[in-house]
């Protein structure tokens, strides 16, 4: 059996709506020093003939502005800081209404919550956690209409007994069944205009925070056609727009 993780506060999380127990700062810092969490946000090409990805998909969908228009994010580089294990340096691109904009910035983990453990195939407990903290992603200033995304990111973490760290979906946590969730606002560099933004690893779960009817259909769920005008008419495009040499678009 696994020993309880030391340094846990005996209370449930209320500020983030979760049920995990918050680690005291020293225990949280030890956890972050022991585990590199970059795989929570970076897709890993799966081995084998079928290809695909392990962890998050290469591109995540979200909602931007008061009308919740579609925006896409691709995190291309996530590197843990050599001296501050809670700090991650991030690079990527977003696409909004056809315009692709590079960005760079940081994710800082300020809270670690230990959740009830899962069970592996041998019925042994597997530790599960949720990490939470601020993010700030600055768009390339040379791009017209650039600005800065900032807010809070939450991600559900499973740490396997062999040390592997994986993105997971856990109930009643700050990540709200999204795997990971970024929520906050964008501030225009030129005018100071502020717009809300929300995106995550599970579009179905993310959309439920804004709409009750975004996904329809029981056997084959799909985006409600009424939202096509907000950029959701080609949801399954396979064009790799984030790559340096994008592949040809294929709408599925």
Per-residue pLDDT tens, the chain, 252 aa: give them. 333 333 333 223 333 335 689 999 999 999 999 999 999 999 766 555 444 456 688 899 999 999 999 999 999 999 999 999 999 999 999 999 999 999 999 999 999 999 998 888 788 889 999 999 999 999 999 999 999 999 999 999 999 888 889 999 988 899 999 999 999 999 999 999 999 999 999 998 999 999 989 988 777 778 899 989 999 987 766 678 998 765 554 443
Pair of tokens at residue 69: 């228009």
- Tokens 């069970």 belong to 119
In this prediction, residue 222 carries a pLDDT of 83
At 211-221, the pLDDT tens digits run 989 988 777 77
Query: Could you give the CA distance from residue 172 to residue 185 in angstroms, rounded to a whole number?
Result: 24
In this prediction, residue 150 carries a pLDDT of 98
Residues in contact with 228: Cβ distance below 8 Å, sequence separation at least 6, in sequence order: none
Question: How many residues are present in the chain?
Answer: 252
In this prediction, residue 240 carries a pLDDT of 87
In this prediction, residue 14 carries a pLDDT of 31
Pair of tokens at residue 107: 């994710």
| In the chain, domain spans | 8-43+53-206
Are 63 and 200 a contacting pair, CB within 8 Å?
no
In this prediction, residue 246 carries a pLDDT of 55
**Total-model pTM:** 0.85
DSSP per-residue letters across the chain:
-PPPPSSEEEEE--TTS--SEEEPHHHHHHHHHH---GGGTS-EEPPSTT--EESS-S-EEEEETTTTEEEEEEEEEEEE-SS-TTEEEEEEEEEETTEEEEEEEEEE--EEEEEEEEE-TTS-EEEEEEEEEEEEEEEPTTSTT-EEEEEEEEEEEEE-TTS-EEE---SSSTTTTSSEEEEEEEEETTT--EEEEEEES-HHHHHTTT-SSSEE-SSS-EE-GGGGGGTTTTTTB---TTSSSPPPP-B-
End-to-end CA distance of the chain: 46
User: Bridge-partner residues for 72, per DSSP?
Assistant: 61, 95
In this prediction, residue 54 carries a pLDDT of 62
Closest CA to 94 of 116, 123, 64: 64
In this prediction, residue 162 carries a pLDDT of 85
Are 151 and 185 a contacting pair, CB within 8 Å?
yes
In this prediction, residue 43 carries a pLDDT of 77
In this prediction, residue 19 carries a pLDDT of 63
Query: Could you give the CA distance from residue 97 to residue 208 in angstroms, rounded to a whole number?
Result: 22
In this prediction, residue 80 carries a pLDDT of 98
In this prediction, residue 78 carries a pLDDT of 97
């Amino acid at each position: 059996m696994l020993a309880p993780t030391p340094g846990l506060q005996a209370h449930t999380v209320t500020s983030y709506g979760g049920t995990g127990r918050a680690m005291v700062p020293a225990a949280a810092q030890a956890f972050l020093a022991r585990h590199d969490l970059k795989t929570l946000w970076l897709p890993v090409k799966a081995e084998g003939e079928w290809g695909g990805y392990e962890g998050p998909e290469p591109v995540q969908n979200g909602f931007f502005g008061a009308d919740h228009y579609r925006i896409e994010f691709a995190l291309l580089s996530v590197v843990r800081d050599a001296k501050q294990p809670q700090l991650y340096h991030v690079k990527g691109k977003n696409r909004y209404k056809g315009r692709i904009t590079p960005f760079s910035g940081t994710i800082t983990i300020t809270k670690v919550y230990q959740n009830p453990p899962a069970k592996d195939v041998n019925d042994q407990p597997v530790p599960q956690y949720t990490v939470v903290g601020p993010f700030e992603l600055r768009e390339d200033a040379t791009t017209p209409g650039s600005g800065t995304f900032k807010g809070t990111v939450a991600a559900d973490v499973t740490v396997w007994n062999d040390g592997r760290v994986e993105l997971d979906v856990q109930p009643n946590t700050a990540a709200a069944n999204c795997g990971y969730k970024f929520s906050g606002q964008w501030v225009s560099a030129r005018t100071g205009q502020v717009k809300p933004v929300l995106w995550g690893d599970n579009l179905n779960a993310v959309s439920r925070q804004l709409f009750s009817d975004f996904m329809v259909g029981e056997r084959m769920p799909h985006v409600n056609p009424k939202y096509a005008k907000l950029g959701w008419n080609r949801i399954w495009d396979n064009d790799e727009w984030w790559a340096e040499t994008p592949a040809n678009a294929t709408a599925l």
